[in-house]
Structure 1
Amino acid sequence: MTSPRQQPAAPRAALSFPRQQARTQRFTLGVPRGFSVSPDGERVVFVRSASGADRSHKLWVLDLPPDGAPVERVAADPGTLLAGRAEELSPEERARRERSREGSGGIVTYAVDAAVELAAFALSGRLFTAELRAGTARELAVPGPVIDPRPSPDGRLVAYVAEGALRVVGADGSADRELAVPEDGHVSYGLAEFIASEEMGRDRGFWWSPDSDRLLVARADDRAVRRWWIADPAHPGRAPQEVAYPEAGTDNAEVRLFLVGLDGARTEVTWDRERYPYLARVHWSAAGAPLLLVQARDQRSQRNLAVDTESGETSTVRAEKDPAWLELLPGVPAWAPDGRLVRVTDESGARALAVGERLLTDGTLHVRAVLGFGEDEVLVSASAGATAEVPETGEIHVYRVTDGGVERLSEGAGVHRAVRSGPVTVLVSARPDAPGSVARVLRDGEEVAVVGSYAQEPVISARVRLTEAGARRIPCAVLLPTGYAEGDGPLPVLLDPYGGPHGQRVLAAQQAYLTSQWFADQGFAVVVADGRGMPGRSPAWEKALLRDLSPSLDDQVEALHALAGRFPLDLDRVAIRGWSYGGYLAARAVLQRPDVFHAAVAGAPVTDWRLYDTHYTERYLGTPQDDPEVYAAQSLLGDDGLTAPEEPARPMMVVHGLADDNVVFAHALRLSSALLAAGRPHEVLPLSGVTHMTPQEQVAENLLLLQVDFLKRALGMAP
């Protein structure tokens, strides 16, 4: 069954791209996501909003009857469950959504039991469940505000967090009780601490046993974490927000782990927490004992630990070391169904899948995540590795890996991901020649349905050329104005990178380039380059930033100059824009290479790495105490950051949200002070009430328009 795409809410000519992109949250609204597949192959569960401009997501079920046509139906509608009232978010839920960069509303996340028959979710801090076979949803009357409810595997109970306490209630709403209660206001049970959710990819703090008889529960104590205060100068009557922020070189939250019974009895899980303070991953399945991944503070060593569920003692399953750092990846470590340890390792020089003692992939693949397991196979996401015969710029594929070999399941250029259970796979594909993505449902490899997307069709189409540049074969995307023809002459250049770890921008998917195409249509040749430090090629490529972030800038310059001989690039008019690490890169470009870059828009830039968090910053730079010279060299403040060849100072626009609790506004203020002291021209655009995201429609739209105006003025282009 295929559902038709919903068309834009307004005629194409009446809706500008900036307004449409803001209204649709970058065309993510109306897109099905968050898939769960029942092990019997009869249901696919997902969330999706009702249109490409509706921010409230409903819970849906796609029924897959063996003898009939697939049918989509709503399992839970927030409008009905809240009786039409607006959703109200607790501060804890707002923080969770900020960490996950979630800007929409309604049922944005949910959890299911093992049979995928019961779903649990929170709305306005209230607990709801949905019986997925019957299609009925109900509220369970429990204390709130509720955070992260999760059914037990057998579907009889639901565990959740309220006011920092882990609680459990019957799926019928009976026998609600506390299992772990915080000792004071610094302690929480069952929630991921800031550094785990922001940097480690661990967004939860409790895990059910396969037998539904107990839980593993994380206890986080942030009393040692430094307090920062984030104020909104636009509202001086409001008290500043207190934030426990572990900046580089300072204390993290103390994290411990407990086995907690349904009667509240608990046993502490023990390991060398002084040596391995980071609880990075927890896996508990029927295939083996609870499995932990704990990591040293410097991230150069880690241990896979098995937990004795009677004593709480742990034993080392495997110890791992790396001279640079050990990357944390989704889906691992885990037990294969036959009890072997599954992990992804760089020990061979390639990012390879290891099952037991065997490496099942080599340098032709760069494994990025483990997606799931069959009886004798592992489903992985991977891109072409450093030794692949044919480069696949920006492509990410889904592979089936067995002891006997590797089989690609996705077809055609694109970015593919998948969810599988039993005989059914949901394969989601985005492609460079079409907007959006398509979610195909496969049974035993044959398509049986396509999950409908209600996303709006963009009013522009990205005309992207994927290529490689320079001696290092830097992955690049180039976009020229719509209608540009040979003979029109060279164009002002806009580099549009992220440029840093975990932020791949060069992707074989049209959706990734819509904003870049819009900038191109304003009269620029836009270049997106993924240099060293970016994911997707090899461990050595990513780890080239160890103790020195300058290769990320060097590779932007190399890509620019290499592409100039093949594309109409005017190297006398070159600008750069970016956000977060991209903002840091943009500011560094005009400060340290004004011979190449003539203007920059630096959005939410990290300007002094001593002000950024522990796990991310220390992975690359060590600590300020041990490596002060490294921090000074990477900072944009002071003599090291502002020193440049004898070239004219270049104009810079610094954009930053006042409510940002990830890259705080102090970064922009300190940069502005340093630039003012050095006599360098710049503009500062503070965004009141805006966090590290810019979900507000008017803010997101006008931010694009203001950037274009600034860049045209700075490069001497006609307005």
Structure 2
Amino acid sequence: MTYLSFPRQHARTQRFTLGAPRAFAVAPGGDRVAFVRSRSGTEREQLLWVLDLAEGGADTAAVERLVADPAAVLGGADEELPAAERARRERSREGSAGVVAFAVDQAVELAAFALSGRLFVADLTAVETAAEGTAEKAAAGTGGGVPAVRELPVPGPVVDPRPSPDGRWVAYAAGGALRVVGADGAGADDRALAEPDGASVTWGLAEFVAAEEMDRTRGFWWAPDSSALLVARVDEAPVQRWWISQPAYPDRPPVEVAYPQAGTPNAEVTLALFTLDGSRTDVEWDRDRYPYLASVHWSAAGPALLLVQTRDQRAQAYLTVDRKTGATETVAVEEDPTWLDLFPGVPVRTPAGELVTITDTSGARALKVGERTLTGPGLHLRAVLDTGAEDILVTASSGETAAEPEIGEVHVYRVDHRGTDAAPVRVSTEPGVHTAVRGGGLTVLTTSTLDRPGAVTRVLRDGAEVARIASHAETPSLTARPRLLEAGPLRIPTAVLLPTGWSEDDGPLPVLLDPYGGPHGQRVYAAHNPHLVSQWFADQGFAVIVADGRGTPGRSPRWEKSIAGDFAGISLPDQVAALHAVAERYPLDLGRVAIRGWSYGGYLAGLAALRRPDVFHAAVVGAPVTDLRLYDTHYMERYLGDPREQPEVYEANSLVGDGGLVQAAEPARPMMVIHGLADDNVLVAHSLRLSTALLAAGRPHEVLPLSGVTHMTAPQEQVAENLLLLQVDFLKRALSGRPHG
């Protein structure tokens, strides 16, 4: 067996996610769970599987069945991704291949997915798919009998195919149009419901800020009776154009991207309702007041429901859509003087039609049904997973008022919404991080804990385990040993990782802070695998500190919103406070302190080296946002306002401005700046401007450009391995005082 270093193993397994089951869909009859999983912990190609469950109690027999193998379906040909699908995967940070996503009908009998821009449907009930021939042929749609997988002959390239609830049709985006085809496989009835009326127009796809910042990756929604669709029309004509070149390949033209930089126009997003016979009804709402379409929900419990936001995200409205006229009616309006967050799974309706939301009230993040608030300050709501006739399934962390805060834990709860005043019931039992999917009397519960690598996926019926869905993820070659604590007077959630086998007799350790430290980026989890890279750095001879300061999620609205208008003045002091608090517990060498980070963490690392050189002696600055005016509208304007109205806020919080470095203190500290040249989210312009400013100021730094790499870190194993090794070499040189370069 060939030995793999941890960095190589980490890259080859895509952070140990390959081989783990995900994307669960539970049949309403409780007899079937569809999911995707690769064959091993090192194979990128995801396959579509079904777990068959006979009705019964805890002794229920469960059998896994392969439904679709992309290699067989494509006849061994390599997968070729159309540009729109590559963009979708970049927005969702999807690095694997094959059936990375699928959609199902209401009965979870039919699945639709795209491979190489081609449209396929799979029969999820076909236990015996081939009278003659092998299971592999059945999964490929060949061999005797009825094939499990069929290709629908349609014009492509196909993006985001979705069956109608009744399973008779499949809608999909292709060539800027939204099209629909019969699911029976004939293909003769394929037609466009909505076609672009300009070169900058697309139907049925999410625009950049929706996919990147709002977690809305969809652009069309079926009516519950399968007779019509709500379809988003996106016109990118108002959006400025930027160009991303590939300097390593000067013969290739640059790629044009529509990027809505803070303070500039967004794409124009509208909605129309199309019936299957081709009629169109435009949906009307006050788009001048509420330009952002944040979410759409359409179920049998009531008319279609929209969540729309003002550009400053301090007000949002829940609207219902009249199918006949396209007019909208306001159900509820929320306002917040700071900003309003968006949450997974809401808005949604109960089966009785009541509106379900997550809202910030009385200092807590709570679950609300209609006008009733169902949870108190003891829970910090994270997402709604499912709404049932009696209860709502949610994920939540302990609130700030909890008697014993559970650092880094996320649990699954059932919340009764029938007006019984019953307390939420915890479904997950082990300390750790949990999520779930529910349907048909089954709950698929996925659990990660500190004391074991990876995750365990259990299938529960009436609270009792009836099956497990196997994971083929590899076991890491090292064991993470994070010590979780609350640091300093602010009780900052913090993980401390020390070298394996280290004891206090070995003396004080040089320190490496390894934060994300900003919005949407919780790092301190009560789970093993999130701490693996930090443990690897610790094993290179550092005391590693991971601190989730103010602005990070998972604690309270006040905690998250305290950074409004002031990234630099809140995020950086919290890292310093965590460092000094940990130094009171462990022997740290505060004369040798470094910091590393990526994205917001890269920004924070650069900020630390420039503004607090009295504390930090070196920084690894990965894919940083350095000039905050160059980032997108929905994200940056939420936190810092409109740069056209508050340019001084952007200048104060940026690393570089029109005049060069912003608020740089002495002495100058060495920095390693790393950036992917193909990054279309945080463009390499950020790092180039930083390097230019550092050079002009005579400050030591190294720049490591990653050719062909996007905002996701390098997918190539050797590059990913050497990227970590080069960081360690830089940090050791910087902290030892040896020369660089």
Q: TM-score range by the shorter chain?
A: over 0.9
C-alpha offsets along residues 103-135 of structure 1, whole Å, 9 cap, x if unaligned?
110000000000000000000000001000005
Alignment of structure 1 residues 600-639 onto 2, 5 Å: 600-638=619-657
Give the aligned partner of residue 28 of structure 1: 17
Give the alignment's TM-score, normalised by structure 2: 0.94
**SS of alignment partner, residue 636 of structure 2:** helix
The AA in structure 2 aligned to 1:99 is: R
The AA in structure 2 aligned to 1:183 is: D
Q: Tell me if 1:59 matches 2:78.
A: no
Q: Report deviation, 1:552.
A: 0.8
Q: Tell me if 1:43 matches 2:63.
A: no
Alignment of structure 1 residues 236-315 onto 2, 5 Å: 236-315=250-329
Q: Tell me if 1:226 matches 2:246.
A: no
Contact 1:395 1:508 in 2 (8 A): yes
Alignment of structure 1 residues 164-175 onto 2, 5 Å: 164-174=176-186, 175=189
Q: Report deviation, 1:275.
A: 0.7
Distance in 2 separating the partners of 1:374 and 1:340: 11
Q: Tell me if 1:478 matches 2:491.
A: no
The AA in structure 1 aligned to 2:104 is: V
Distance in 2 separating the partners of 1:298 and 1:100: 24
Alignment of structure 1 residues 524-539 onto 2, 5 Å: 524-539=542-557
C-alpha offsets along residues 276-312 of structure 1, whole Å, 9 cap, x if unaligned?
0000000000111100000000000000001111110
* The one of 130, 134, 140 aligned to 2:122: 130
Q: Tell me if 1:671 matches 2:663.
A: no
Give the aligned partner of residue 337 of structure 1: 351
Distance in 1 separating the partners of 2:646 and 2:298: 38
C-alpha offsets along residues 468-503 of structure 1, whole Å, 9 cap, x if unaligned?
100000000000000101211110000000000001
Distance in 2 separating the partners of 1:405 and 1:560: 38
Contact 1:588 1:641 in 2 (8 A): no
Contact 1:168 1:177 in 2 (8 A): yes
Distance in 2 separating the partners of 1:718 and 1:631: 36
Distance in 2 separating the partners of 1:122 and 1:564: 52
The AA in structure 2 aligned to 1:151 is: P
Alignment of structure 1 residues 111-190 onto 2, 5 Å: 111-134=103-126, 136-174=148-186, 175-190=189-204
Give the aligned partner of residue 141 of structure 2: none
Contact 2:365 2:556 in 1 (8 A): yes
Alignment of structure 1 residues 530-569 onto 2, 5 Å: 530-550=548-568, 551-569=570-588
Q: Report deviation, 1:640.
A: 8.5
Distance in 1 separating the partners of 2:425 and 2:207: 38
Q: Report deviation, 1:411.
A: 0.9
Alignment of structure 1 residues 175-574 onto 2, 5 Å: 175-403=189-417, 404-550=422-568, 551-574=570-593
Identity of aligned residues (%): 68
Q: Tell me if 1:100 matches 2:92.
A: yes
Contact 2:349 2:387 in 1 (8 A): no
The alignment covers a number of residue pairs equal to: 707
Give the aligned partner of residue 64 of structure 2: 72
**SS of alignment partner, residue 505 of structure 2:** coil
Distance in 1 separating the partners of 2:582 and 2:363: 30
C-alpha offsets along residues 627-658 of structure 1, whole Å, 9 cap, x if unaligned?
0100000110146854244x321000000000
Distance in 1 separating the partners of 2:377 and 2:97: 41
The AA in structure 1 aligned to 2:256 is: E
Give unpaired runs (5+ residues) of structure 1.
1-9
Q: Report deviation, 1:717.
A: 8.1
Q: Report deviation, 1:718.
A: 9.6
Q: Report deviation, 1:699.
A: 1.9
Contact 1:367 1:383 in 2 (8 A): yes
C-alpha offsets along residues 303-348 of structure 1, whole Å, 9 cap, x if unaligned?
0001111110001000100000000000111111111110001132
Q: Report deviation, 1:705.
A: 0.8
The AA in structure 2 aligned to 1:89 is: L
Q: Report deviation, 1:623.
A: 1.1
The AA in structure 2 aligned to 1:420 is: R
**SS of alignment partner, residue 209 of structure 2:** helix
Distance in 2 separating the partners of 1:654 and 1:497: 16
* The one of 658, 683, 707 aligned to 2:727: 707
Distance in 2 separating the partners of 1:644 and 1:495: 20
Q: Report deviation, 1:696.
A: 2.2
The AA in structure 2 aligned to 1:643 is: Q
The AA in structure 1 aligned to 2:5 is: S
C-alpha offsets along residues 65-102 of structure 1, whole Å, 9 cap, x if unaligned?
12551000101110110011110001111111000000
Distance in 2 separating the partners of 1:412 and 1:173: 46
C-alpha offsets along residues 256-290 of structure 1, whole Å, 9 cap, x if unaligned?
00011102211011000011000000000011110
Give the aligned partner of residue 716 of structure 2: 696
**SS of alignment partner, residue 326 of structure 1:** coil
Give the alignment's TM-score, normalised by structure 1: 0.97
Give unpaired runs (5+ residues) of structure 2.
128-147
Distance in 1 separating the partners of 2:545 and 2:33: 39
Contact 2:661 2:693 in 1 (8 A): no
Contact 1:632 1:640 in 2 (8 A): no
Q: Report deviation, 1:412.
A: 1.7
Distance in 2 separating the partners of 1:644 and 1:301: 37
Give the aligned partner of residue 145 of structure 2: none
* The one of 637, 659, 675 aligned to 2:678: 659
**SS of alignment partner, residue 487 of structure 1:** helix
